[in-house]
Amino acid sequence: MEEPSTGDGEPYFAERPRSRSRRSELRFLYRGELLTFALDRGVFGARELDPGTALLIEHLAVRPTDRVLDLGTGWGPVGVAAAKAAPRGRVVLTDVNRRAARLARENLDRNRVRNAEVRVGSLFGPVAGESFDVIASNPPYRAGRPLILALLAAARDHLTDGGRLLIVGKGAQGIRFYQEWLETHWDGPVEVLGRGSGYRVVEARRRTPAGPGQGARVAVARRGRSA
């Protein structure tokens, strides 16, 4: 399903796709607004919105002021939706594929998004030293398990305390394996937010550490109760 969806059999994670451009247009309704997108060959979802991506957007729990990272944005459906959901926040969209990054920039403009930007690069390279309230991704499963595990391992360090990683995938892509990996390696709760057509959206939360301030507040309350 994934590879043919670039429209020409070329892997969707090529940095500089060689296929000839053949653009098309797609629209979908999000939160009552009709969003419009340019699509192209050589970019994931070259002809249509991937069903996994649609499920991720449906379960994109983003607050109005959130800082969001859309890692592996393709032509930008998740990042544009996140920017609409967080009008007072900020969204960074990244991709290794330069054609995807160009399309995503165009699609921000088409949808009059002013609170987002597109950066080119692999994994967290383009956002070194930055933290987000939400990292949302339909990850590049075809790039192989080591890359996906590198993504999951590094994501925690790019989340604020209490921040959430949202990934979508299906059984064949090993989403259950990655969910279990998150349950084992992350310290916060891991939940399935949505399911459909064999896909699931998994949320992993970075636990908020109980700092000295919080510990002191608990101690005061306990003393108060027993007095």
Ligand X SMILES: C[S@@+](CC[C@H](N)C(=O)[O-])C[C@H]1O[C@@H](n2cnc3c(N)ncnc32)[C@H](O)[C@@H]1O
Measured CA to CA, the distance from residue 193 to residue 169 in angstroms comes to 12
Shortest distance in whole angstroms from residue 208 CB to ligand X? 27
Q: Give yes or no for residue 74 binding ligand X (CB under 6 A).
A: yes
Strands (E), 72-158: 90-95, 116-120, 132-137
CA distance 96 to 100: 8
Residue nearest to ligand X (CB): 72
Q: Is 7 in the site for ligand X (CB under 6 A)?
A: no
Q: Which of 69, 81, 82, 100 lies at the binding interface for ligand X (CB under 6 A)?
A: 100
Give 3-state DSSP helix, strand, coil % of the chain, rounded to 5.
35, 25, 35
H or E stretch at 24: strand 24-30
Residue from the set 6, 12, 148, 159 that interacts with ligand X by CB under 6 A: 12
Question: Is 96 an interacting residue with respect to ligand X (CB under 6 A)?
Answer: yes
- For position 78 contacting ligand X by CB under 6 A, the verdict is yes
Question: What are the tokens at 18?
Answer: 């060689």
Enumerate residues 160-179 that contact ligand X by CB under 6 A. none
- Binding residue for ligand X, selected from 7, 38, 41, 95, defined by CB under 6 A: 95
Q: Given candidates 7, 42, 72, 188, which one binds ligand X under the rule CB under 6 A?
A: 72
List Cα–Cα distances, 189 to 128, 150, 203, in angstroms.
25, 20, 8
Residues making contact with ligand X (CB under 6 A): 12-13, 44-45, 50, 53, 71-74, 77-78, 94-97, 100, 122-123, 138, 140, 143, 147
